[in-house]
Amino acid sequence: MGFDLSKAEGFEWNRGNLSHIKKHNVDYKECEQVFFNLPIIILSDEKHSKIEERFKIIGITAGERRLSLAITVRKNKIRVITARNQSKKERKVFEHERMKLGGEESEKT
62 within 8 A of 38, measured Cβ to Cβ? no
Helix (H, G, I), strand (E, B) or coil at 55: strand
Q: What is the model's pTM?
A: 0.84
How many domains does the structure of the chain reveal? 1
Task: Give the residue numbers spanning the domain of 57.
Answer: 5-101
Question: Torsion angle, CA of 44/37/72/53, rounded to 10 degrees?
Answer: -20
Query: Is residue 108, in this structure, part of any structural domain at all?
Result: no
Query: Is residue 109, in this structure, part of any structural domain at all?
Result: no
68 within 8 A of 80, measured Cβ to Cβ? no
Query: Is residue 106, in this structure, part of any structural domain at all?
Result: no
Task: In whole angstroms, give the CA distance from residue 54 to residue 73.
Answer: 8
For the stretch 15-40, pLDDT in tens is 999 999 999 999 999 999 999 998 99
Compute the Cα dihedral for 76, 77, 82, 88 and give only its sign. positive
Query: Is residue 107, in this structure, part of any structural domain at all?
Result: no
For the stretch 37-71, pLDDT in tens is 989 999 887 766 667 789 999 999 999 999 999 99
